[in-house]
Amino acid sequence: MSRIPVEIIARIRIFLFKRIGFQADSFISTGIGMKLAPFFLLFAFLCISFSSEAQFWKDWFRKKPEERGVLGGKESLQERIKSRTLDDGEDVKPLVFVDSAASDKRVVRKKKAPKRMFFGVMTKKAFIRKIAGRKTTLETFFFIKKGLEFQPFVKDIFWFHTQKKKIFVGLIGPKDRPFAKIMHGPYKKMLDGKTEEEGIYYFGARHGRWMFEKPQGDEMVVVDKEKYYKGFPKESIVSYFDADKTKIKEVIPVRNGERDGEYYRFSETGNLLAEGLYEYGRKIGKWTDYFDTNKRKIRRQLQYGKTWEDKTFQPYTLVEYDEKGKVIYDKAVEDKKKPSERKSDPTKEF
């Protein structure tokens, strides 16, 4: 063990004599005292530090509030701010540091949705592969695992038959219900590795942008592009009863600037009041009006031309009922009567 300097031993003797009050010469000169001298030195340092700190705070609390300064310093708050300006100019504002969420550089990572979740619904991925000669067609898609929930009032509902391994469009028959799965999510159809059709389904209805391509030589050429919104053409005019857009009033299908597609009109209670089909801006086929009940009771049916080219066709009423279901007018029956005995067409708004 290295010898302790004589000056340090002298300081320890003086400290012990003043603080503790006993003769330390005889104790330090012994072998045990020489070994314990470093510990006595540490003890003396702590006592001196504590006493100096205690005296500082004692003096600080005796001062008046305006004399205490900032955090025990000698400067007042105004002097502290003034001394930390950008320069010595009189009009310079103090440098103030603002703590805000924007100053936090930590990046909060958002939780990613599962890869098979679309529009908040979990799905299952499937595919259909068909080989015809040297050509291979591959369809990849997703369908809803449970339930047969589909977009209401959309004519073309796409669903997958798990037993027949085929995609169907339209109503689901009672026999097919156990095997039917509603299409929901991305869809892609490829021919020999080249995309032929691509889009996305929303509860069985086409949604968003759809691309249709056909092979031309060694390349695929786009033959059609369609934009949908939950089964309706993207340009469709949809009106609502409420500002929150939860109660649909009317759906006017619009494609390429003209009325084209399925038309619907609803009551404020959500019941279907009318439906029909537009083609190139003209009403075609059979249009049906309903009473405002949840049983969808037919009020009347109107007949228009078969296609939009039948511009000379005169529409007429096929049949009309009262609220109890009694026939008021039937054109098939009236046509069998003599002209003088026939009832006039009750529809006046043609």
pLDDT band at residue 223 using 50, 70 and 90 as cut-offs: confident
Range of the domain at 286: 235-350
> pTM of the prediction?
0.56
Residues 223 and 198 in one domain: yes
* Residue 146 confidence (pLDDT): 84
What dihedral angle (degrees, nearest 10) is formed by the CA atoms of 327, 329, 335, 339? 130
Residues 151 and 180 in one domain: yes
Asked if the structure places residue 58 within a domain, the reply is yes
Asked if the structure places residue 79 within a domain, the reply is no
* Residue 219 confidence (pLDDT): 80
Q: Which of 206, 232, 258 is the last residue of a domain?
A: 232
Q: Is the pLDDT of residue 83 over 60?
A: no
Q: Is the pLDDT of residue 229 over 80?
A: yes
d(CA 153, CA 248): 11
pLDDT band at residue 1 using 50, 70 and 90 as cut-offs: very low
Residues 61 and 155 in one domain: no
To the nearest whole percent, how much of the chain has pLDDT over 70? 68
Residues 227 and 148 in one domain: yes
Residues 210 and 300 in one domain: no
Radius of gyration of the chain (CA): 45
Rounded mean pLDDT of the chain? 79
Asked if the structure places residue 85 within a domain, the reply is no
Asked if the structure places residue 222 within a domain, the reply is yes
Give the pLDDT confidence of 33-75 residue by residue, as tens digits: 566 666 766 766 666 555 555 566 666 666 655 555 544 454 5
Asked if the structure places residue 90 within a domain, the reply is no
Asked if the structure places residue 284 within a domain, the reply is yes
Q: Which residues contact 273 (CB under 8 A, 6 or more apart)?
A: 265, 266, 267, 289, 290, 292
**CA neighbor of 236 nearest in space, from 212, 213, 261, 216:** 261
Residues 202 and 176 in one domain: yes
* Residue 52 confidence (pLDDT): 56
Place of tokens 């080249």: 194
Q: Total structural domains in the chain?
A: 3
* Residue 74 confidence (pLDDT): 46
Asked if the structure places residue 87 within a domain, the reply is no
Q: Which residues contact 213 (CB under 8 A, 6 or more apart)?
A: 194, 195, 196, 197, 220, 221, 222, 223
d(CA 228, CA 232): 5
* Residue 154 confidence (pLDDT): 81
pLDDT band at residue 286 using 50, 70 and 90 as cut-offs: very high
Coil, helix or strand at residue 42: helix
pLDDT greater at residue 273 or residue 91: 273
Enter the tokens of residue 60. 């600080």
pLDDT band at residue 292 using 50, 70 and 90 as cut-offs: very high
Asked if the structure places residue 193 within a domain, the reply is yes
Q: Is the pLDDT of residue 250 over 70?
A: yes
Q: How many residues does the chain have?
A: 350
Give the pLDDT confidence of 298-343 residue by residue, as tens digits: 999 999 999 999 989 999 999 999 999 999 999 999 999 888 888 8
C-beta of residue 186 within 8 angstroms of C-beta of residue 123: no
Q: Is the pLDDT of residue 194 over 70?
A: yes
